Amino acid sequence: NAGVTQTPKFRVLKTGQSMTLLCAQDMNHEYMYWYRQDPGMGLRLIHYSVGEGTTAKGEVPDGYNVSRLKKQNFLLGLESAAPSQTSVYFCASSAGGVNNEQFFGPGTRLTVL
Amino acid sequence: DQQVKQNSPSLSVQEGRISILNCDYTNSMFDYFLWYKKYPAEGPTFLISISSIKDKNEDGRFTVFLNKSAKHLSLHIVPSQPGDSAVYFCAAISNFGNEKLTFGTGTRLTIIP
């Protein structure tokens, strides 16, 4: 089992460019999440999904869009990148339940110039 | 408004001694708490959790204590080992909307050999 994988690992964008980050999980989890990690800010939830075809906003959704067309994949899109979106992005998945243990991918380091 | 707070950004502990990481929360609806550990260039991994109906949970060298009246939890690592050097995140789940975790800002633990 690969667990949770993220593509790409690194990316540099210019302001105004667009890109899509791909997350894939092979654990048949219903729930999937996108977080960003910034120094001194911890992990902040961008968007999440509780099942195929569903998405919901998290704490910091502005400037991002997501899609969950297949259960195993969760895509995060930046339509017009801004320097404030320079961050490390983590995808996670979980089976839900009381403790909702989430399994994280290795992260994508994005720099917006 | 930071609902989960880790007030110590960093902590250094001698190898073999006890490491104590602290976490405070403000939302009285939180009823499940988790600790995650993160190494550089990797995603966070689940470490240990505790339900609000308990005040202590132990797993090997790791023990989490919960003081509901003070809205405070702590992670004890004893004895501390060099491999414990990492960033530790505290996270909480609400009994309403348990599909989301709220993370603290993290504490960087350094174990000194």
Q: Output the CA–CA distances (angstroms, integers) from residue A86 to A54, A58, B69, in the order listed.
A: 26, 18, 39
CA distance B31 to B68: 9
Distant-in-sequence, close-in-space partners of A59: CB < 8 Å, separation ≥ 6: A44, A45, A46
In terms of Cβ atoms closer than 10 Å to its own Cβ (0-12, 13-18, 19+), residue A87 is: buried
Chain B contact set for A92 (CB, 8 A): 43
Q: Both ends of chain B: CA-CA distance in Å?
A: 37
B42, B46, B89 ranked by CB distance to A42: nearest: B89
Minimum CA–CA partner of A6 in chain B? B43
The shortest C-alpha distance from B97 to chain A (Å) reads: 10
pLDDT confidence tier of residue A40, bands split at 50, 70 and 90 = confident
CB contact under 8 A, A106 and B42: yes
Paired with A37 in beta bridges are A43, A88
CB A113 within 8 A of CB A15: yes
CB contact under 8 A, B32 and A102: no
Encode pLDDT of A47-80 as tens digits. Answer: 999 999 999 999 999 999 999 999 999 999 999 9
pLDDT confidence tier of residue A15, bands split at 50, 70 and 90 = very high
